[in-house]
Each structure stands twice: as structure tokens, then as C-alpha cells.
């Protein structure tokens, strides 16, 4: 393996990697704009110039690979390459490159969305000169729409071509190209085919300056006001890693978060703009009970009393009377509690069913990015914790005598067809745990107020069997209770249990005790990158009720 | 970009020959674009797509190249394509007044085509004949030591 020296640091590196990569791995800062780990290397921004001993001129570190020298030609007797990143000439060169990049760049940071997370700003501050020597007029162009969600500000663009390479290499859609050359060059749309692919929003993320802007976020907030939470996307079963930016419990935007085991560097636009669905939904603000054709608020104590009156009687009867409707939109922890409630308390008086899974078209990109057909985040978890799911629940229920129903609602995406609607209508008492007035909630006799997807905390298992942390980005409102807590109270009330979990961590630990696949998969261990289930290769056989004790 | 639905090289042997000259197909991009432009007078989007297919890159990527070089046109040029040298010697010797003359006479600016489609005008860089400045190039021939009168005569004769 080649031994190189960057500044004062000796590093052993793999043969063939670039100087910039070696520096990034060793946390040595070399500034760059056009380089992006997911994209091909062009070396066009010239920001990463470094001095390499034996080379007459400065070299772009992003495109200089490290090889091995024969023993007699080693530098200082042992190094294959000696790189200097802090010499006078390198500093002067960075200053000069920045001066060129800023020639036509406006000084509009106070109104620029990128301010605060802008590499041009950061590097100008760190490496640039304090004053501009440019006396001529700047080239000014109008903003343009590249696609329905992306605006380009040509004046701010530094022509790093990350976005162009993205459309060629990652989305494979080729909408963008570099038009003309020199100071008249600009990013353009090829043949009026606008930038509207499923990954289009990522060009805003990867733009190192404020040239590409989201119509959804433009001029809405400043970066430094926003709090970033590391979480996962719940819009399909891939479970892309995201950063949720919010201020005062209002979400402003979602960005992709790097996770090479799941989504790489990018997310799709379904997830990126999907959070607006929860804002637009008609919200439930307190537990509600049906009264005179409408709903009226009820306290949690009252709601639990109602549940006790309705459900405790049915436990002594002979027949299956209770149906539980589980949901693949809920966390593993709440599904685990739900499975316990149904299988350990109601036992053979109950059956667990589910509504049909929400499915849509599946999309695969050549770069490996995929959007799953399964548009619910936790189907794997649902099947793990409720292994005795009844598929033919409608037929089964028609024949039997089910009269009580406890349903975890799927949320705003759920639509009910007539068959299911009449099924829910035929229930003597329907309890729905939800956050919004969905079609299902409208049929309920009692609505329990659970958290919305952005408020939920717990783990989710994606379609590859990877357990990931769903981290709440918005805090719970006054009357909302976590899903697992509601189910716990349900168990305590109806089943006379004395469960006293105080946090989702305790539920998670208990879950690990009872399900070997999830043993040791605590929040601390899975962290922000997730961990696969144990025994990932073996699929769980349908073990029936005995599986859960 | 003007739309021309189909494009076919009229001389497939030349295409083959150009492609065989390079180890990498992409290297044949410029000669093939020149060939296509020679055939149609300008590069239609169909032609760009045809060349892109031959060198196995996406037409969008091909547009990078086409728009980079000023000698590729994506709209039809005049029957007589007049290129006036703008580099130092020619400028000093009155290239500007030639441009002004042509502009006024045919009501065209740099990059335009006259209404009857007979004349188009572009300013270009050095045509390599500085000793006989100013130089213009009409289609494929150079005309040296130009004056306004000489230009009018030449245009009439062709």
C-alpha cells in the first residue's frame, strides 16, 4: 500500500484512490465544489488545488490518483507522494480561484436560501479575499424554472456541473446540459424537457451554492433558524434516511441523509415533498367520542373507561368477538404492543387483520436508487410482530360474529372501498387510533389520538430487513399520546395488566427480549444508520399464537 | 431549434471511415458533427441525435459540445454564409466597416440570416491570412484584402 504524506500527516492509503479522497478520509480539509462522491470527477472548479512534490504545477486533488513508486524513487526515502495543502502558493491560488468564481456572483447572501450552508460563503470567508477588485459590471440573468419544483438563479451558479452530472449518472434522465462556453455558459434544459423526474429535488441538495432553489422552500426560512433531526422517510418501504428541518414544530423541508446501506446520498421527490400531506390533513386534536351523529371531545380517562365497558365483557364470551386491524405505518414498538394486546389478552377471542396494503408503481434507477412498490414503511415489522395476520379477514368476519374492532389507522393515504366501509360500519363498537380525520376515523365510535408520522418515535423495519430509527421531528401536542402508550393503557384497562413502560426505549427492550430477531437492536445500537435484523436470511415461519407468550 | 424529423447520412462510407479512425467512438464526435452540418447546412436535432447514437452518448450530452463550438449552427444559415474575421490585423484594417456595411445592406446582425435567406453573417476569429487583411470567408473560400466595393462585386458574382 502506498504511503503518502499530506502536510505533516503520514497516511497509508489504498492504491488508486485520489488525493482528495485520502484527505477527506483523514479529516484534512481541502475545499472543493465540483467533486461529489456519488458523481464522476470533472475537476472543473479548481478549488481543490494542492502542491505535490515533484510536479511543476499545482494539481487538482480530486483527479490526482495515488500510485506506488519504485523503491529507489521514493520521496524522502519512503513516501510515494508528498502533498502540501497549506503552503503560500496553495493559499494564493485558492484566493485567486475564489476571485474568479465570484466575478459574476451577486452579493445577495441576505436573501439567498443557501446562506448558512453555502460552501461559497464558507470558503470565501476562510480562503478568499475580503474585498472585490472587480470594477466592471456583473453579468446579470433572470431566474428560470428548470422544472416544476426547481428554480435556477444563473447569477449565483459557479458551473460546477454537479446537477448536470446528476441527471446523467444518477437519474439517467439527461434533462440538463451546459449551454455555450465561457462567461455566456449556463445550465439549460435540453429540448424543453423540464427537470421533473422523481429525483429532481436532489439537485437542490447537491448544489454547493444557492443557484438551484426549491419552489417549495424558497424564501420560507433561514438555515440557522432550523433544527435538523436525523430520521427516516415513511413514504415507502425503502426507508430512506433523511434530515428533517423544522422550527417551532413546523417542518420546512426534508433533505437526504447519507446511508450507503439504504439510499446512498439521495431521496425521491415523493418523500421530499410528502410531509405536506400531514399539514393539509384535517387534524384530530383530542380523543373523540361519537355523539348525536358527530364527535365530541372526551378525556383520556373517559376514553379508557369507555373501552373497558365495551371490551371487558366480550372477553368472557365463547366466540371470536374482537378484530384488531394492524397497520404497516406504525412503528415496531406499537405493533409489538398491539400483537401482545391481541394475542395475550384477547387470545382466541380475537383475530388480527389488516387493510389491503397500499401499493403503487415500483421505480428502479440504473444507479441503484429505488422507490418501492410498497408505499407503507413497515410491512416487514407488521408481519414480524403480528405473525398470525388473517388475510381473508372480510370473509372470516362475515361468517363469524365479530362485533368489536380496534384499528390502528394507516393515516392520510388510506382510502376505503365500499366493502371495507360496510365492514367497519357493521361493528358494534369501532375504536380507531389516528391523528387525522381519515375515512376510517369518520366511521369510528371512539377516536384515540395518536401521533402523526412526523411525531412518532420508534423503529421501523424496511423491506431489506434493516431496523432503523424513526426519530420524531415535531414534539407531541398536549393531548396526543404515543401509540405504544395508548395500547399499553388499553392492556392495563381491559386486561388488568400493570405495565408501566415510561419510554419507547423500554418497550424496545421488552420487544428484543421476546423477538430474537430484534434482540439487542436498541436505539443506542442501531443509531442513525440502522442495523439489519438478526438472522436476516431466515424468514419467520408462521408460528401462530404460540409464538408470543 | 428547428425540427427536422429524420436524418440520414447520405455518405455512409465516410461515416464508417471517420469512426474507424479512432479507438474510442466518442472521439469521432466533432468530425461527424461537421459531416452532418456539411450535409444539411446546419445541425438539426435529428442530426444531433443521429450522431449521438453513432458515438453512443446521450443527445443531451451532445448538446454540450454543439453549443460549445461557435462553428456549429443549430438554425439554418444563408445560402452564402459570410464570415468576417475580427482578429487584430483585420480589425485594424477595417473589418468593422465591412460588418457595418453588410449589416445595413441586408438588415442583419451577427448570427442572423437575411429575409430572403441568401446571406448570413457571423464574426469569426482569425482566418489565418493576416498579411492580406481584412479577410472574409464566404462558404468555403477566403477572400483577401477586402473592401466594401469588392465585397458587393463578389456577392453579385456568386
Per-residue pLDDT, A320: 67
DSSP string, B37-63: HHHHSS--HHHHHHHHHHTTS-HHHHH
How far, CA to CA in Å, does A546 sit from each of A386, A406, A537, B40, B91? 12, 22, 22, 78, 94
**Inter-residue contact B73 to B42 (CB < 8 Å):** yes
Residue of B nearest to A172 (CA): B58
Are B93 and B60 in a shared domain?
A: no
- Contact at CB, A174 and B60, closer than 8 angstroms: yes
Are B55 and B93 in a shared domain?
A: no
Percentage with pLDDT > 70 across chain B: 97
| Three-class secondary structure of residue A187 per DSSP | strand
Per-residue pLDDT, A318: 64
Query: Which chain B residues contact residue A177 at CB under 8 A?
Result: 60-61, 63-64, 67
pLDDT along chain A (549 residues), means of 10: 93 94 94 95 94 94 94 92 95 95 92 94 92 91 94 95 95 92 91 90 95 95 95 94 95 94 94 92 92 91 92 71 91 94 86 90 90 93 90 73 85 89 88 94 94 94 94 91 94 89 94 92 93 66 36
Per-residue pLDDT, B4: 52
Are B93 and B144 in a shared domain?
A: yes
Are B109 and B153 in a shared domain?
A: yes
Residue with cell string 477527506? A24
Are B94 and B143 in a shared domain?
A: yes
Q: How far is the C-alpha of A259 from the C-alpha of A187, rounded, in Å?
A: 29
**Inter-residue contact B67 to A180 (CB < 8 Å):** yes
Per-residue pLDDT, A400: 58
- Any chain A CB within 8 A of the CB of B37? no
In a domain, residue B4? The reply is no
- Contact at CB, B60 and A178, closer than 8 angstroms: no
pLDDT tens digits for B74-90?
889 888 999 999 999 99
- Residue B43's CATH number: 1.10.10.1590
Query: Which chain A residues contact residue B61 at CB under 8 A?
Result: 168, 174, 177
Are B54 and B29 in a shared domain?
A: yes
Name residues whose C-beta falls within 8 Å of residue A68's C-beta, 6 or more positions apart in sequence: A2, A15, A80
Which one-letter DSSP state was computed for residue A237? T
- Residue B96's CATH number: 3.40.30.10
Q: How far is the C-alpha of B84 from the C-alpha of A352, rounded, in Å?
A: 83
Per-residue pLDDT, A144: 94
How far, CA to CA in Å, does A542 sit from each of A15, A149, A386? 50, 46, 10
Quote the minimal CA–CA distance from B149 to chain A in Å. Answer: 35
Name which of A175, A180, A182 to mutate to probe chain B: the one with the most chain B Cβ atoms within 10 A of its Cβ.
A180
- Counted residue by residue, chain A has a size of 549
Beta strands across the sheet bearing A446-449: A294-297, A288-291, A446-449, A429-434, A404-408, A322-326, A350-354, A389-390
Per-residue pLDDT, A349: 81
**Inter-residue contact A271 to A200 (CB < 8 Å):** no
Bond from prior residue into B134 cis (ω within 30 degrees of 0):
yes
Per-residue pLDDT, B2: 47
**Domain ranges, residue B122:** 80-157
Per-residue pLDDT, A538: 41
Are B146 and B91 in a shared domain?
A: yes
Query: Which chain B residues contact residue A180 at CB under 8 A?
Result: 67-68
In a domain, residue B89? The reply is yes
> Residue A205 burial (CB < 10 Å; 0-12/13-18/19+)?
buried
Per-residue pLDDT, A545: 35
**Domain end among B47, B68, B89:** B68
Per-residue pLDDT, A223: 94
- Contact at CB, B61 and A168, closer than 8 angstroms: yes
In a domain, residue B2? The reply is no
Per-residue pLDDT, A33: 96
Quote the minimal CA–CA distance from A190 to chain B in Å. Answer: 6
Per-residue pLDDT, A399: 61
A290: β partners: A295
Are B56 and B111 in a shared domain?
A: no
Residue of B nearest to A187 (CA): B64
Backbone angles phi, psi at A277, to 5 degrees: -55, -40
Name which of A178, A193, A366 to mutate to probe chain B: the one with the most chain B Cβ atoms within 10 A of its Cβ.
A178
Per DSSP, helices labelled H in A117-194 are: 119-127, 162-169
Quick one: average pLDDT of B90-98? 92
A interface toward B at CB cutoff 8 Å?
A: 167-168, 174-181, 190-191
- Tell how far CA A49 is from the center of its chain: 34
In a domain, residue B74? The reply is no
| A and B: number of Cβ contacts within 8 A | 32
Assign 3-state DSSP to chain B and report helix, strand, coil percentages, each to 5.
45, 10, 40
The average confidence (pLDDT) of chain B is 90
Say what the pTM is. 0.89
A75: β partners: A79
Amino acid at each position: 500500500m502506498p504511503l503518502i504524506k499530506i502536510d505533516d500527516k503520514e497516511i497509508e492509503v489504498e492504491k488508486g484512490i485520489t488525493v482528495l479522497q485520502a484527505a477527506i478520509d483523514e479529516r484534512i480539509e481541502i475545499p472543493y465544489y465540483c467533486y461529489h462522491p456519488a458523481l464522476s470527477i470533472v475537476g472543473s472548479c479548481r478549488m481543490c488545488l494542492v502542491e505535490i512534490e515533484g510536479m511543476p504545477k499545482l494539481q487538482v486533488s480530486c483527479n490526482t490518483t495515488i500510485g506506488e513508486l519504485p523503491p529507489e524513487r521514493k520521496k524522502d526515502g519512503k513516501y510515494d507522494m508528498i502533498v502540501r495543502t497549506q503552503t503560500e502558493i496553495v493559499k494564493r491560488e485558492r484566493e485567486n480561484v475564489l476571485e474568479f468564481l465570484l466575478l459574476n456572483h451577486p452579493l445577495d447572501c441576505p436573501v439567498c436560501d443557501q446562506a448558512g450552508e453555502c460552501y461559497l460563503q464558507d470558503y470565501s470567508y476562510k480562503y478568499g479575499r475580503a474585498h472585490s477588485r472587480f470594477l466592471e459590471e456583473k453579468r446579470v440573468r433572470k431566474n428560470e424554472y428548470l422544472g416544476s419544483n426547481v428554480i435556477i438563479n444563473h447569477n449565483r451558479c459557479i458551473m460546477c456541473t454537479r446537477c448536470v452530472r446528476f441527471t446523467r449518472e444518477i437519474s439517467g434522465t439527461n434533462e440538463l446540459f451546459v449551454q455555450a462556453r465561457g462567461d455566456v455558459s449556463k445550465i439549460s434544459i435540453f429540448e424543453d424537457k423540464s427537470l421533473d423526474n422523481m429525483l429532481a429535488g436532489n439537485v437542490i441538495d447537491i448544489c454547493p451554492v444557492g443557484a438551484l432553489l426549491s419552489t417549495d422552500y424558497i424564501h420560507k426560512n433561514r438555515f440557522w433558524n432550523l433544527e435538523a433531526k436525523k430520521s427516516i422517510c415513511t413514504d415507502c418501504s425503502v426507508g430512506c434516511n433523511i434530515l428533517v428541518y423544522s422550527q417551532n414544530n413546523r417542518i420546512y423541508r426534508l433533505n437526504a441523509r447519507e446511508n450507503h446501506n439504504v439510499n446512498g446520498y439521495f431521496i425521491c421527490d415523493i418523500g421530499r415533498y410528502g410531509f405536506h400531506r400531514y399539514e393539509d390533513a384535517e387534524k384530530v386534536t383530542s380523543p373523540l367520542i361519537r355523539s348525536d351523529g358527530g364527535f365530541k371531545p372526551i378525556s383520556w380517562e373517559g376514553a379508557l373507561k369507555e373501552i373497558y365497558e365495551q371490551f371487558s365483557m366480550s372477553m368472557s364470551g365463547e366466540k371470536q368477538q374482537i378484530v384488531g386491524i394492524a397497520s404497516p405505518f406504525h412503528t415496531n414498538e406499537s405493533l409489538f404492543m398491539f400483537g401482545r394486546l391481541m394475542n395475550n389478552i384477547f387470545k382466541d377471542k380475537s383475530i388480527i387483520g389488516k387493510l389491503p396494503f397500499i401499493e403503487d408503481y415500483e421505480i428502479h434507477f440504473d444507479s441503484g436508487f429505488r422507490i418501492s412498490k410498497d408505499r407503507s414503511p413497515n410491512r416487514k415489522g407488521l408481519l414480524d410482530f403480528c405473525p398470525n395476520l388473517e388475510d381473508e379477514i372480510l370473509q372470516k368476519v362475515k361468517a363469524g360474529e365479530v362485533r368489536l374492532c380496534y384499528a390502528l389507522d394507516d393515516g392520510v393515504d388510506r382510502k376505503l372501498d365500499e366493502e371495507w366501509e360496510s365492514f367497519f360500519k357493521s361493528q358494534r363498537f369501532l375504536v380507531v387510533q389516528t391523528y387525522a380525520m381519515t375515512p376510517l376515523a369518520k366511521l369510528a365510535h371512539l377516536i384515540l389520538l395518536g401521533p402523526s408520522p412526523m411525531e412518532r418515535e420508534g423503529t421501523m423495519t424496511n423491506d431489506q430487513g434493516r431496523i432503523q430509527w424513526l426519530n420524531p421531528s415535531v414534539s407531541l401536542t398536549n393531548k396526543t399520546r404515543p401509540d405504544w402508550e395508548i395500547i399499553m393503557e388499553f392492556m392495563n384497562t381491559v386486561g388488568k395488566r400493570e405495565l408501566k413502560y415510561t419510554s419507547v426505549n423500554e418497550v424496545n427492550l421488552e420487544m428484543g427480549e421476546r423477538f430474537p430477531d430484534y434482540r439487542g437492536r436498541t436505539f443506542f445500537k442501531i443509531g442513525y444508520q440502522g442495523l439489519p435484523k438478526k438472522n436476516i436470511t431466515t424468514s419467520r415461519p408462521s408460528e401462530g399464537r404460540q409464538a408470543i407468550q | 431549434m428547428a425540427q427536422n424529423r429524420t436524418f440520414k447520412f447520405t455518405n455512409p462510407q465516410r461515416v464508417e471511415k471517420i469512426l474507424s479512425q479512432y479507438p474510442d467512438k466518442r472521439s469521432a464526435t466533432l468530425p461527424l458533427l461537421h459531416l452532418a452540418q456539411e450535409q444539411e447546412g446546419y445541425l438539426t436535432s435529428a442530426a444531433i441525435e443521429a450522431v449521438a447514437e453513432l458515438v453512443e452518448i446521450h443527445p443531451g450530452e451532445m448538446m454540450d459540445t454543439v453549443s460549445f463550438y461557435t462553428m456549429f449552427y443549430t438554425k439554418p444559415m444563408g445560402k452564402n454564409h459570410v464570415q468576417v474575421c475580427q482578429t487584430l490585423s483585420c480589425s485594424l484594417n477595417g473589418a468593422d466597416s465591412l460588418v457595418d456595411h453588410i449589416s445595413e445592406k441586408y438588415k442583419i446582425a451577427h448570427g442572423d440570416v437575411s429575409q430572403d435567406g441568401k446571406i448570413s453573417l457571423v464574426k469569426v476569429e482569425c482566418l489565418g491570412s493576416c498579411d492580406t487583411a481584412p479577410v472574409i470567408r464566404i462558404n468555403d473560400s477566403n477572400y483577401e484584402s477586402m473592401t466594401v466595393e469588392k465585397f458587393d462585386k463578389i456577392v453579385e458574382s456568386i
